[in-house]
Structure 1
Amino acid sequence: MNGNAVKDDLLLTAAGVEIEAAGKDARPKISVVAYTGRIMRVPGWGDIAIDLAGLEAGGQVPLLADHNATVGSVVGHGEPAVANGRLMVAGVVSGAGEPARHVVEMARGGFQFQASVGVAPTEHERVKPNQSVEINGRSLSSPGGFTLVRKGRLREVSITPLGADAETSVAIAASRQGRTNMADIAHEDQIRADERDRLKEIELTCRPIFAGGSERDWGVHQKRVDDMKAKAVAGDMTVSELRAGVLEVLRASRPVFSGVITGGGSGHIPRARVIEAAILKRAGFAALAEKALGPACMEAADDLRVAHTLDLCRAALQHEGIDAPADREGMVRASLTTHTLTEALGAAVNKVLLDGYQESPATWRSFAGVRSVPDFKTATAIRPSFTGSLQQIPPGGEFKHGGADEATTQYKVDTYGKMFSIDRRDLINDDLSLFDSVARAMGQAAMRKLSDLVYDTLLSNAGAFFSAGNGNYITGADTNLSTDGLTKAITAMLTQRDAEGNDLDLRPTRLVVPPELQTVARAVLESEYIAAQTNLPTGNSLRNAVGLEVEPRLSNTKKYGTKASTKHWYLFAAPAASPIIVGFLNGQQTPTVEFFGLDQTVNKLAVSWRVYFDFGAALCDPRAAVRSKGEA
């Protein structure tokens, strides 16, 4: 078989070996932490994990000296056990040969042994990059993917004087013996290719980007970079952790600048804000930039004389004392490691996204109460009209508790989100259309999703919220949207009373209709006169009685099915009356934008952002809302 064949056995350097001294006639005990249950890095192979649930580890296993499978090299024997997601081997020194005596004598002298654990894999699979797998009581994933050994057999444990790395929790060596088929060869080729890509990425990350391009250009930080590189190659540090460490070194080594002094005498303007203004202006958002950042910042951005997006990359590098690489690719990669450009890009994206969010209509805000919740657990909201009235307390009397069985409603928030990115080619090609086509669209999509949830909650009518029993659902020929129909709805709300007959002082403030009824609604609310029978007043008594909202979702049968209607219409009290409530995590009423930097995924060269939004909605106080069927 050629040298590229995959062998069956893996030799794992154990996390720890303890050899306890014993009495004159007792055998010394050996304890080995064989495998901690996590992902292990194999130089030349990539990441590997073993599912202990599929590992055959029963019965006695031999404890050998240096993997020498002869009778004279037996040091002892042990019993394996899986506990708390780890593989342990406990045994005794039972060998009668020289190797056993050497191990005992050296242990008494204080020598710290290590152990290699031999595992024969019988079933394995490839886990995709960033895919999580639940094994050994934990969730495991790797940016570059890893090999998962689903089934295997524990063969032996060897006592060794030296392991692969004394400081790692688990290090792996690979034993090459036996035969396999072409599928295994292809599997190894994939593992080797992944490892080559990983090592190449490590080299690129650690390459100096100062002037000169030589290793010595890291200056006083060279040893720190070399140490991080060695750890990354050995698998003790992920590529993402390496990037973060190198970026920290880069920031620590750059000169300090005081900011930009504008000609207008406005004081110091951080360079990141100036570049942010230039980005927004070049992307077509000059008005937004001036409104958010001010005219002085815009003047400083004009002074940069940006003719191409690469000019922004060069400005960021120059500000941080980094010589810009001559090639465009190198300039983009280098600039995206700077704090200046990443901060400017992140802030610009955030402003465009929030502008799109705030620009989108939100008709529900005119009648929905807003709540803040501290977590994702089910929360409880008070129905204001159900709290009852105060009772007179006589001198020395006792206060009584009010009932809360019907006075509350429950709701919870969930997370909604999406990723988007700017490819490095967009910067090279001077293409910032993403700010309009994606960032603004993401902001608008966030508001649409929130409004979708609010109106889906309203239309679903959970728990017969709108019903004759609650006195907030009107039907019949006279409930079409008209002066008579609106009068009936207003009367229904004004005459709401609690169980004790107390008036609740609810006042309708908002009429909400589908687009098909907006013309009729405006006529009812805005006309000075109405057609009336002879000798009856013609003045419109309902003119400006309530505000008007037109909501397309009310009649969107394609999205909401039979719940939607072109005939139904709604009347609501003020948001404080809480006819419906909208909850936000920690009161955050806008989406959160997080920047993830360059190359967060190995299969894409781009800077990425994550947008997420935590919110929920629920029907709350039925007395503060009226629904009309709108037809007989």
Structure 2
Amino acid sequence: MPQTEQTTTQAPAAPPPRTAPRQLVQGARLQTLDEAARTVEVVFSTSDLVEHWVNHNGVVQRMPTRLVLEQGAGDLAALVEQGVVLDSHMEHGARSVIGSIEDAWIEQGVAKARLRFSSVEDVEPIWQRVVEGTLRNVSIGFRAIEQEVRIEQGGDGERIEVMYFTRWVPLEISVVPRGGDRGARTQSAQPQELSPTGATAAPIEETTEAAPAANHQQEANMPEPITGAVTQAQPPVDQAAIRQQAAQDERARIAEIRQTATQLGTTDTLVQSAIDDGTTIDAFRAQAIEAFAQAGQSATAGVGGPRASVTQDATERFRQGAAEGLMARAGMEGGQRNEFTGMTLAELARQSLTVAGVRSPSDRRDMVGQAFVQSGAHSTSDFANVLANVAHKAALRGWNEAEETFQMWTRTGTLTDFKATKRVGLGLAESLPEVPEGGGYTYGTVGDRGETITLATYGKMLKITRQAIINDDLALFSTLPGKMGRAAKRTIGNLAYAILTGNPTMSDGTALFHADHRNLAASGAVPSITTMAAGKTAMRTQKESATGPALNITPKYMIVPAALEVAAAQLLQSAVDPTANKGHASNPVAGMAQLIVDGRLDAASATGWYLAADPNAYDTIEVAYLDGVQEPYLEEKTAWSTDGVELKVRIDAGVAPLDHRTLYKNAGS
């Protein structure tokens, strides 16, 4: 009976050899690549043998699989409508998407697609590698709907079970350094022949496509299920080496079963049964977790207490529990003390290998290095994911804890790309004209002013190395990312205050603060009732046009350097005039505006001060974020040249003044 519903991705593997190994011959240049359109055609599946984790007869195990490539077996329409191009199967958010899928089809027994790569800055290095041919492998992520086991002839002459995915829904196509399907790659325009004989082919100098044998009446690239003996010449087999490896694997299996049993309190009966029956470590882990859950349910049954249930597999439980335990060690909010809290970083690395079903090396240095690169069917290891998760939370904590004031007097905006965008000012309605009885309405017009705003990327990288893990250095993924999060917010504040101090040129060719804009005091003076009243009057009497009425803009914020903090506070908070000789005169500017103090202004001028209107009511200064994401983004990548994981904290933002009428400056004295 076909089995249904599981999600998987084509992972790098070393599957059993085919009966007649296919070999690629020399290919042409990438003639399907269109640099102007940023598109390229790929073969994303040839139904090659690829090992996957599958649920077979109720047991989760790793076995060779094939995708059935008959018409209708895969929902290619869904791939075009909803599928995306990812970087190495990473799904950490919208920014993992590097392109779209324009078309997908079955041709000559292989599955093909045309990919379009995004033009954003962080995708460009990937696209250039595709263009030059150094990055040519692709991999498909899909969800299996129906599957069945068929028997094939293995490369060693033995019959092997192969799981055929007979109905499947493709979800994404990833560009990967190393793929599972040996024929899945970017392709040339001319079909390339395959050698079914196993003869040595010419070396591949450029990226090639993989095409199958010509028989398309059967399932593409799939051998018939075996019905009789198959004779095939085999190379000599080192039986002693096979027996030695089998003994080592068996000892490792038993050791991991016992370790898992100790962690979950599994009974000796279940442990011995698993050892005797040859149960895989993954199957035993599932049995042990289920037994643990049932024991919890029995302990609370009938007493009204909480009932234990298993909602996560061991891998997910490790990721969550290890992250919470590390956060507790680092004193971070959201951390919880658990069985992982007492472990060192190196011990957590070993535990991640155990959970993944990988035998860890005895040497601690090798073990930590393997924990960083061990990824199974994913691009990033469980251990690296845990560290990145904690670092991401630390960066967000730093961002939220950073004390900044620019958000009060600026407006938040959204941009969807890095192109220069003009914010067109709508002509302020001076008044509504009368509509005579039976008369028609007149159209309003869009103002002729428009300011340009452009996004830029700001960021920094840090690396968590194997040495840092062995040294148990918590600061690298807790304290430092927090500082980087605070630095990201400071960066946006720097940009906002640089508008005030830098006095940029507006679209009309005049500086933001200028006498022609009627928003710059004729002569600088310290804050006083007189000078503040003059600034308020200047803002109230601003006009949309020379002949139009006053806009009556009122200041909501007074922005001063630290040197003027006390004097400005006295003026805004005192009910009487603090400068009067007898101190009994009323203070007409009391409560006129909310005081904002920022030390960055002192570096430019310790005497200059500003008034700003309410950004929710008027155009002042806009702080725009890419896709509206107002917090730093943390990206992770496993480092190959040096064992570890690289973390990149970045934020995409742009700051620009929108209207000079809503801001006022006095240079002070």
Q: Fold match, TM over 0.5?
A: yes
Q: Work out whether 1:522 is the aligned partner of 2:569.
A: yes
1:369-414 deviation per Cα after TM superposition (whole angstroms, max 9, x unaligned): 1111111122222446746544344455444443435342221112
CA distance in 1, matches of 2:134, 2:479: 33
Q: Which residue of 2 aligns with 1:609?
A: 647
For residue 509 of structure 1, give the secondary structure of its aligned residue in structure 2: strand
Q: Work out whether 1:381 is the aligned partner of 2:423.
A: yes
For residue 302 of structure 1, give the secondary structure of its aligned residue in structure 2: coil
Against the structure 1 CA distance between its residues 412 and 332, is the aligned structure 2 distance closer, same or farther, given a 3 Å change threshold? same
**Per-residue deviation, 1:365:** 0.6
Kindly, what percent of the aligned residue pairs are identical? 25
CA distance in 2, matches of 1:521, 1:251: 71
CA distance in 2, matches of 1:437, 1:213: 42
Q: Which residue of 2 aligns with 1:9?
A: none
Q: Check whether the contact 1:14–1:170 (CA below 8 A) recurs between aligned residues.
A: no
Residue type at the aligned position of 1:630:
G
Q: Check whether the contact 2:426–2:445 (CA below 8 A) recurs between aligned residues.
A: no
Q: Which residue of 1 aligns with 2:349?
A: 313
**Per-residue deviation, 1:214:** 5.4
Query: Which of 610, 625, 640 is 1:570 aligned to?
Result: 610
Q: Which residue of 2 aligns with 1:623?
A: 661
Q: Work out whether 1:302 is the aligned partner of 2:338.
A: yes
1:332-355 deviation per Cα after TM superposition (whole angstroms, max 9, x unaligned): 234332554333212110011111
Q: Which residue of 2 aligns with 1:458?
A: 500
Against the structure 1 CA distance between its residues 536 and 139, is the aligned structure 2 distance closer, same or farther, given a 3 Å change threshold? same
CA distance in 1, matches of 2:481, 2:132: 32
Residue type at the aligned position of 2:383:
L
Q: Check whether the contact 2:426–2:446 (CA below 8 A) recurs between aligned residues.
A: no
Q: TM-score, normalised by structure 2?
A: 0.53
Q: Check whether the contact 2:424–2:447 (CA below 8 A) recurs between aligned residues.
A: no
Q: Which residue of 2 aligns with 1:244?
A: none
For residue 289 of structure 1, give the secondary structure of its aligned residue in structure 2: coil
Q: TM-score, normalised by structure 1?
A: 0.56
Residue type at the aligned position of 1:485:
T
Q: Which residue of 1 aligns with 2:624?
A: 583
Q: Work out whether 1:330 is the aligned partner of 2:371.
A: no
1:347-366 matches, cutoff 5 A: 347-366=389-408
Query: Which of 520, 527, 532 is 1:481 aligned to?
Result: 527
Residue type at the aligned position of 1:289:
G
**Per-residue deviation, 1:456:** 2.0
Higher-helix-fraction structure:
1
For residue 496 of structure 1, give the secondary structure of its aligned residue in structure 2: coil
Query: Which of 426, 431, 435 is 2:473 aligned to?
Result: 431
Q: Which residue of 2 aligns with 1:178?
A: none
CA distance in 1, matches of 2:557, 2:387: 41
Against the structure 1 CA distance between its residues 328 and 507, is the aligned structure 2 distance closer, same or farther, given a 3 Å change threshold? same
CA distance in 1, matches of 2:663, 2:281: 58
**Per-residue deviation, 1:304:** 3.2
Q: Check whether the contact 1:370–1:581 (CA below 8 A) recurs between aligned residues.
A: yes
1:294-350 deviation per Cα after TM superposition (whole angstroms, max 9, x unaligned): xxxx1xx33335142223223333434445443322332343325543332121100
Q: Check whether the contact 1:37–1:136 (CA below 8 A) recurs between aligned residues.
A: no
CA distance in 2, matches of 1:259, 1:410: 63
Q: Which residue of 2 aligns with 1:543?
A: 590
Unaligned runs of 5+ in 1: 1-12, 17-32, 39-130, 145-159, 173-209, 219-249, 291-297, 557-563
Query: Which of 556, 561, 567 is 1:509 aligned to?
Result: 556
**Per-residue deviation, 1:625:** 1.0
For residue 480 of structure 1, give the secondary structure of its aligned residue in structure 2: coil
How many residue pairs get matched? 406
Against the structure 1 CA distance between its residues 252 and 413, is the aligned structure 2 distance closer, same or farther, given a 3 Å change threshold? farther
Against the structure 1 CA distance between its residues 138 and 309, is the aligned structure 2 distance closer, same or farther, given a 3 Å change threshold? closer
1:101-180 matches, cutoff 5 A: 138-139=131-132, 164-165=200-201, 170=206
The alignment yields a C-alpha RMSD, in angstroms, of 4.3
**Per-residue deviation, 1:480:** 1.6
Q: Check whether the contact 1:411–1:618 (CA below 8 A) recurs between aligned residues.
A: yes
Against the structure 1 CA distance between its residues 259 and 37, is the aligned structure 2 distance closer, same or farther, given a 3 Å change threshold? farther
Q: Which residue of 1 aligns with 2:334?
A: 289
CA distance in 2, matches of 1:259, 1:570: 69
**Per-residue deviation, 1:465:** 1.5
Against the structure 1 CA distance between its residues 133 and 487, is the aligned structure 2 distance closer, same or farther, given a 3 Å change threshold? closer
Against the structure 1 CA distance between its residues 212 and 343, is the aligned structure 2 distance closer, same or farther, given a 3 Å change threshold? farther
Q: Check whether the contact 1:387–1:407 (CA below 8 A) recurs between aligned residues.
A: no
CA distance in 2, matches of 1:168, 1:395: 82
Q: Which residue of 2 aligns with 1:274?
A: 321
Against the structure 1 CA distance between its residues 395 and 254, is the aligned structure 2 distance closer, same or farther, given a 3 Å change threshold? farther
CA distance in 1, matches of 2:626, 2:572: 37
Q: Check whether the contact 1:386–1:407 (CA below 8 A) recurs between aligned residues.
A: no
**Per-residue deviation, 1:595:** 1.4
Unaligned runs of 5+ in 2: 1-23, 33-123, 136-175, 178-194, 209-244, 254-279, 376-380
1:194-229 deviation per Cα after TM superposition (whole angstroms, max 9, x unaligned): xxxxxxxxxxxxxxxx997659999xxxxxxxxxxx
For residue 480 of structure 2, give the secondary structure of its aligned residue in structure 1: helix
CA distance in 2, matches of 1:133, 1:344: 26
For residue 446 of structure 2, give the secondary structure of its aligned residue in structure 1: coil
CA distance in 2, matches of 1:403, 1:252: 69
For residue 375 of structure 1, give the secondary structure of its aligned residue in structure 2: coil
**Per-residue deviation, 1:545:** 2.6
Residue type at the aligned position of 1:508:
P
CA distance in 2, matches of 1:351, 1:399: 55
**Per-residue deviation, 1:274:** 1.7
CA distance in 1, matches of 2:290, 2:334: 22
Against the structure 1 CA distance between its residues 496 and 385, is the aligned structure 2 distance closer, same or farther, given a 3 Å change threshold? farther
**Per-residue deviation, 1:566:** 1.3
